[in-house]
Amino acid sequence: MRYEVNQELFVIHFDYASLRNQESKFQAADFMLPFLWGNKEIPAEVDLEMLTVTDHFLTAWDQDPDQEKKYDGYLLLDSKGEIFANQYPLASYGQISDTGDRRFNYYVTEGEDHGAIFKAFDMGEKKVYEYHLLADVIRNMTEGLNNAKEKLSDIHLNEFTHEDAAFYTELRDNLTIVLEMIEKAFKEKYPEWSYEIKKKNISGNPDRPFYIERCVFTKK
């Protein structure tokens, strides 16, 4: 299984001033990773939370006409007792994407007033509709930062243009800022925890290793 009942998961949401200033604020409550699709806005703040897995279910893929229940879905509680869901009540997968496995959205139960709940997000009364797994964000952004640094080390290459240099310099600087924001917020909210990027051999063969990088959390 992807997660275990009673497992605690660190998650993150980025808050953007431009989205908060819109008349409709639901988009601000959704999750958006910084610097996608040419967006250069640095988040105004990061929202960190620890979710605790309370329930596991077998769920169907939302595009499956037979609705065969063979995927893992979960319900989780945040620190205030609000319920979040991961791939539940239906699982969402793209042709080459399993991003939904690491997304956690506010769960509205069958008996609740859906309209009132979503209006609360739209008005900004509720702040976070969707979180993303913090370990995945840190690993992803660290990989992007290292890639930008590597590109800038190749600046002497003939095919490396001034536009390339400006792009990777800005990306490096912006990713550094956001990663430092995450680190500062994490240390302030969870001083008893620390994290670091570690390499892990997933080949099963020490003589022919295949390493991946993971963000590992440790309680002090």
Structural domain for 181, as ranges: 136-219
Per the structure, how many domains does the chain have? 2
Q: Pick from 133, 156, 182: which residue ends a domain?
A: 133
- Which run of H or of E encompasses 187? helix 162-189
Q: Pick from 87, 116, 133: which residue ends a domain?
A: 133
Percent above pLDDT 90 for the chain: 76
For all residues of the chain together, what is the average pLDDT?
92
117 in the same domain as 26: yes
46 in the same domain as 65: yes
Question: pLDDT, tens digit, for every residue of 101-146?
Answer: 999 999 998 888 889 999 999 999 999 999 999 999 999 999 999 9
168 in the same domain as 129: no
Question: pLDDT, tens digit, for every residue of 134-188?
Answer: 999 999 999 999 999 999 988 777 677 888 889 999 999 999 999 999 999 999 9
- Torsion, Cα 15 212 87 195, to 10 degrees, reads -50
145 in the same domain as 120: no
Note if the pTM is more than 0.85.
yes
**CA distance linking residue 68 with residue 71, whole number of Å:** 9
Q: Tokens in use for 38?
A: 């040419």
